[in-house]
């Protein structure tokens, strides 16, 4: 029956093409009955409607891509370049030790991170005293948020939401390579099937040479961990991890995003 219907459609197209001045543009399905007539115009119209929906969907996707490209254009090209370099350094390494600052460039020069932002250029290219590196990046009142995903450690408290607001940041003129920071961290967790909110006073430091923020909870907090974050070059997001204070074993990961 299916083959007969297809053949009938093809014959009706051929008749319509051969006699354009006298075309009813309808066909009768053989053996189906006189009431089962299908308008070819209806078939074509339905096909056009389907194509219109596809075009609309493609236009929406194109608009979304255009908006994302617009956001990228608004970002500093230098920040994008630095962000890519930072990701490559994580993959390939810089050739410098953990306590060293990579000066960048093609020379692979390394200096101790304590020599960064001390007012005296130690890198041949002066990268250790760059204003973007040594500027104030921990702004009092700024708030960062993200979800922590715990994967290890017997102190694991389950996935949780972090909200961190910096309340103090102080740079000593005698030791300008580290800023002493304080923050309030609000953690939303679920324990024994019940939601619970925990507020912690965190203390730590920001090291421009290591591009790292380290915060620790109060001494009487049962989880002996550190929150260690490496801000990206746009300083609007940071890759963080929760580690044990004693062994630096990684317990959880979290991406924090600046919300205000």
What's the sign of the alpha-carbon dihedral 225, 230, 235, 236? Answer: negative
Q: Note the pLDDT of residue 64.
A: 74
| pLDDT band at 156; cut points 50, 70, 90 | low
Mean pLDDT value across residues 133-139: 86
Cα-Cα-Cα-Cα torsion 110, 255, 84, 88, nearest 10 degrees, comes to: 50
Q: What is the pLDDT of residues 244-259, one digit of tens each?
A: 999 999 999 999 999 9
Q: What is the pLDDT of residues 49-99, one digit of tens each?
A: 677 777 877 777 777 776 666 666 555 555 566 666 656 655 556 788 888
Q: Is the pLDDT of residue 189 over 60?
A: yes
The Cα–Cα gap between 49 and 172 comes to 69
Q: Is the pLDDT of residue 260 over 80?
A: yes
Residue 123: half-sphere exposure toward Cβ, Cα within 13 Å: 26
pTM of this structure: 0.63
The Cα–Cα gap between 238 and 258 comes to 9
Q: Which of the two residues, 217 and 105, has the higher pLDDT score?
A: 217
Q: What is the pLDDT of residues 13-63, one digit of tens each?
A: 444 454 544 554 454 544 444 444 445 555 556 666 677 777 877 777 777
Q: Note the pLDDT of residue 183.
A: 98
Q: Which of the two residues, 23 and 233, has the higher pLDDT score?
A: 233
Region of residue 116 (phi > 0: left; psi between -120 and 50: alpha; otherwise: beta): beta
Highest mean pLDDT among 1-5, 50-54, 201-205: 201-205
Closest to 148 measured CA to CA, from 164, 134, 137, 135: 164
How far out from the chain centre does Cα 102 lie? Answer: 25
| pLDDT band at 195; cut points 50, 70, 90 | confident
Q: Note the pLDDT of residue 128.
A: 94
Q: Which of 26-30, 105-109, 180-184 has the lowest mean pLDDT?
A: 26-30
Residue 166's contacts (CB-CB under 8 Å, 6 or more residues apart) are: 138, 139, 140, 141, 142, 143, 181, 182, 183
Q: Is the pLDDT of residue 106 over 50?
A: yes
The Cα–Cα gap between 116 and 122 comes to 8
Q: Is the pLDDT of residue 174 over 90?
A: no
């Amino acid at each position: 029956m299916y083959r007969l219907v297809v053949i009938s459609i093809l014959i009706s197209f051929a008749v319509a093409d051969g006699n354009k001045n006298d075309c009813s543009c309808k066909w009768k399905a053989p053996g189906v009955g006189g009431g089962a007539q299908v308008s070819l115009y209806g078939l074509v119209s339905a096909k056009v409607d389907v194509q219109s929906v596809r075009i609309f969907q493609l236009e929406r996707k194109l608009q979304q891509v255009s908006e994302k490209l617009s956001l990228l254009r608004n970002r500093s090209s230098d920040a994008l370049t630095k962000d890519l370099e930072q990701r490559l350094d994580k993959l390939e390494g810089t050739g410098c030790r953990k306590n060293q600052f990579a000066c960048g460039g093609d020379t692979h020069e390394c200096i101790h991170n304590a020599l960064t932002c001390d007012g005296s250029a130690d890198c041949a290219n002066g990268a250790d005293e760059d204003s973007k590196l040594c500027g104030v990046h921990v702004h009092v009142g700024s708030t960062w948020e993200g979800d922590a995903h715990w994967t290890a450690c017997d102190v694991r408290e389950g996935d949780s939401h972090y909200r961190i607001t910096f309340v103090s940041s102080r740079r000593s003129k005698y030791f300008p390579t580290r800023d002493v920071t304080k923050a309030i961290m609000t953690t939303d967790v679920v324990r024994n099937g019940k939601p619970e909110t925990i507020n912690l006073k965190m203390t730590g430091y920001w090291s421009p040479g290591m591009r790292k923020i380290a915060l620790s909870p109060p001494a009487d907090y049962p989880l002996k961990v550190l929150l260690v974050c490496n801000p990206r070059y746009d300083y609007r997001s940071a890759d963080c991890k929760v580690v044990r204070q004693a062994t630096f074993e990684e317990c959880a990961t979290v991406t924090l995003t600046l919300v205000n």
